[in-house]
Amino acid sequence: MKRKYGNMLVLFYLAFLSILTIEITFQRIQETSEAIEAEKMEIQIGDGAEEDIERMTRVLPEAVSERRTVTEQSVTREMEYELTDEDYQTLLKIVEAEAGCEDENGKLLVANVVLNRVDSSKFPSTVRGVVYQADGGKVQFTPAYNGRLQSVKVSEETKEAVQKALYGEDISDGALYFVATSVAGEQKSGWFYRNLTYLFDYGNHSFFK
């Protein structure tokens, strides 16, 4: 009987030691985990990091504000030229006919010249009137009279360039005339240089006002 109780005491003692060991081990694991998390959270500031953080705090809100402003401007931007469908199609075709082989800026410049004329009191007030104008027997835009205007296939780049012009993008410096000397020849091109103010060359064209 004494042996039975002795064995039970031993078992209780061993169980107590096991529970104590488990609690100590769990506590050490928890302490280690907390130390690791604390180390991860620690920020080493130095070598200019303070300045970087300050700069980021200042610049990021400004960048977000600027982006929002640009986006709002894009959304609220209005077309500066309200054209009839006939005028719009005429503008697309004359730009394609005159600058189909040019890059987008070359196309934009031709659109700018046509619209500058629409705005000028020296020329008709519509795109069609400008493109088909003949002054003293001299046509202003040859493709309008040689059939090319009706045969061109308008490219997507031409549409994009014309769209930019209609929204007010103007890189022409007020140009009202242009000539392609390689097409018109030296004699016809000479009139532009003698009677107008030369502005610049771009692509195959020289621009004047």
Identity at 90, one-letter amino acid code: T
Q: Which of 60, 77, 94 is the last residue of a domain?
A: 77
pLDDT in tens, 189-203: 899 999 999 999 999
Number of domains in the chain: 3
pLDDT in tens, 39-95: 544 444 445 555 555 555 554 455 445 444 444 444 456 889 999 999 999 999 999
Cα–Cα distance between 134 and 111 in angstroms, integer? 19
Question: Do both 98 and 193 map to the same domain?
Answer: yes
Question: Do both 31 and 67 map to the same domain?
Answer: no
List, in sequence order, the alpha helices (H) in the chain: 2-41, 49-76, 85-99, 104-119, 127-131, 148-151, 156-166, 181-184, 186-195
Question: Do both 27 and 95 map to the same domain?
Answer: no
Question: Do both 101 and 186 map to the same domain?
Answer: yes
Cα–Cα distance between 109 and 93 in angstroms, integer? 14
Cα–Cα distance between 48 and 121 in angstroms, integer? 62
| Structural domain containing residue 67 | 47-77
pLDDT value, residue 73: 45
Question: Do both 54 and 26 map to the same domain?
Answer: no
Mean pLDDT in residue range 23-29? 55
Question: Do both 25 and 123 map to the same domain?
Answer: no
pLDDT value, residue 4: 45
